[in-house]
Amino acid sequence: MRMSALSATAALVVATLAAGTAPASADAPAGPVLVLELEAGTATLHHNTARVTYERVDGAVNSVKIISVEIVSGERDCAWVAWNDPHNVNGWSNLTSEPSCNGTGLIEGHDEIIKAPAGHPLKVRLAGDHGGDVVHKDIEKL
């Protein structure tokens, strides 16, 4: 009995592969996809939000793969998302090519791996300004 059940299972696997269908696990990412929500500013004209979608890099210490970044700026702000890059002079490197300004939205897809030495916690920051210095910010650990 066991031999026939095993043969039937093997035949099903061979038929599936022969049909050109890969097993479902082959399409799965290395780790779970995570989403980090950021919010900065007040609930009126200076309300900025962002969403960073990422996954941890298997086998790598303190490394994440950024999948996408979405920003919606406040009506009177410019907002952007950055990460705490230990190699940057000012300590932060932008994850978006440009800021989102005056109530607009910005969505950028990424395939970027960010890394930091062990002991340096990776963080992202949503920063908003009114045309000058950063006045609103939200910092979260990845």
For 67, the token pair is 């999948």
Contact criterion met (CB below 8 Å) for 69 and 51: yes
Would you say residue 17 lies in a domain? no
Would you say residue 16 lies in a domain? no
Would you say residue 4 lies in a domain? no
pLDDT tens readout for residues 61-108: 889 999 999 999 999 899 999 999 999 999 999 999 999 999 999 999
Tell me how far apart the alpha carbons of residues 41 and 74 are, in angstroms, rounded to a whole number: 8
pTM attached to this predicted model = 0.74
Contact criterion met (CB below 8 Å) for 82 and 88: no
- pLDDT for res 3: 42
Contact criterion met (CB below 8 Å) for 84 and 91: yes
Tell me how far apart the alpha carbons of residues 126 and 140 are, in angstroms, rounded to a whole number: 9
Contact criterion met (CB below 8 Å) for 37 and 81: no
Would you say residue 18 lies in a domain? no
Would you say residue 109 lies in a domain? yes
| DSSP secondary structure of 75-102 | TT-EEEEEE--TTSTTS-EESSSS-EET
Would you say residue 7 lies in a domain? no
Band the pLDDT of 30: cuts 50, 70, 90.
low
Range of the domain at 89: 30-141
CATH code of the domain in which 125 resides? 2.60.40
pLDDT tens readout for residues 39-74: 998 878 889 999 999 999 988 888 999 999 999 999
Number of domains in the chain: 1
Would you say residue 48 lies in a domain? yes
